[in-house]
Structure 1
Amino acid sequence: MNVIIVEDELAASDNLSYLLNEINPAIKVVTVLDTVKEAVEFFSRPYDAVLVFMDIHLADGISFEIFDQVEIDIPIIFTTAYDQYALKAFKVNSIDYLLKPIDEEELEDALNRFEIQTQQKGMDEHQVKGLLELIQKKAGKSYKSTFLAGQGNQLTPIKTEKIAYFFIDTGVVKAVLFDESSYALDSKLEEIEESLDPTVFYRANRQFIIHRDAIVNIKYYFNSKLLLTVAPPCTEPIVVSKAKATDFKKWMSV
């Protein structure tokens, strides 16, 4: 299967190519385009591809400018860190919308939907509803300031600002505080992630969500991954994947 990547960040296009190859080695990236101008020139000529992965912010403008100048008649999966552009994505031949950093499982799901929808142009009602809910949820969102931890027959309130990290320990989600105390929470890590301020907490991997003030050291790990040291110390290694490493470094640099 031939695909095209429209992306102006080399690290992002390399990551996407890597993930596509991990999911299906038969996927071939025909070309990587990094500007609106290059994309317009490319899509003005015949091309051999069945799917486009397109970032919204390009080196010389917004990718939606491409559609004002040329028609792209194959499905598009948008990849961007800015979900406020989702509504515009409905107006072009889009089958999905992935937020950066791209998660391998979500990418695989998008490819599966592409295979199902090869004869269908545009997004179905379920996808449109999902994106609308995402936008509405992000707009004016407030974040959780207190968690309740069950201890015996009582509930203990825990201020979010005092939590160094959340992690899954033998199937139980725990909150570890900066004072080294820990509490079991009756919540899924995904639910907790949605309730936290993303400028303060980061989902490092499937097991950990970390407060930025808990991170004391970052080391380069094998295969371009990152290894984090936190305080209070954790017995489990906290690894940020290659796909998320660039985004994590940007997050830490804010």
Structure 2
Amino acid sequence: MSALRVLIVDDEAPARSRLRRLLDGFVEDGRIEAPVEAADGVEALERLAEAERPFDLAFLDVRMPEVDGFDVVERVAAERRPDVVFTTAYDEYALRAFRANATDYLLKPIDAERLEEALARVEDRRGDSEERDERLAALLDTLDEQAAAPPPDGDTGPPIERFTVQGVDRLVVVSAGDVIAAEVSDGITNLYVRQEGREGGAGIGRHLVGFTLDALEARLDPARFMRVHRSALVNLTCVREMVPWFSGRYKIVLTGGHEVTASRSRSRELRDRLSL
């Protein structure tokens, strides 16, 4: 296999420099060409579109101003789209990265061993893209099967007490009682749950899940959970404060300090349900 053409995209110069240093060994081994850099998503799109030879691999930072890593993937022409390895300091983008057909997902600070694994995956993908796509399809099928969709004929059955969500490399069992809230952002459902901290204190964990709010709401106990906005579902037992907000709305403060703003109509219903 010929050396891969690589593009490094990150709006932070130190991050680009660190990744370039980590890649130096692969340049010396002849596995990749000397990387090209882009300081933001806009520059990345220009380089991807104007390169004489299409890039084989792009290391894309997720969070960038104006045009983020996911925007770059969506906007680049299909014939110019390289294999993508997302890089980020945040772990909540894993599911979205897989849905964007990313080859891998690296957390900053990037570890040399994980970088080697990511490059090997790209090389494997280019050697047998069909097999890799089948593995990705299988993963997404697994995620979709987790959707807590109502059974046929409108019979949702008894409320669920426990269910699984997809972690980065494992299935995580979540107790329904530990769910604080669920919110949709950019088409992705974010699940917020109570979890024990390393020193025994309570904290909040977040999971990206493959099911919709409608499906989740249909399977949770309606006496305990309420849809307070078309994009937000909360556990009523976790409500700690209701702060008057604009236009008759309430900002809801939940366990752990998590905040959700209710719509105006749902604010009235919420107030009634909590007998305020």
TM-score by length of 2: 0.46
Tell me: higher relative CO, structure 1 or 2? Use CA pairs within 8 A at least 6 residues apart. Answer: 1
TM-score by length of 1: 0.49
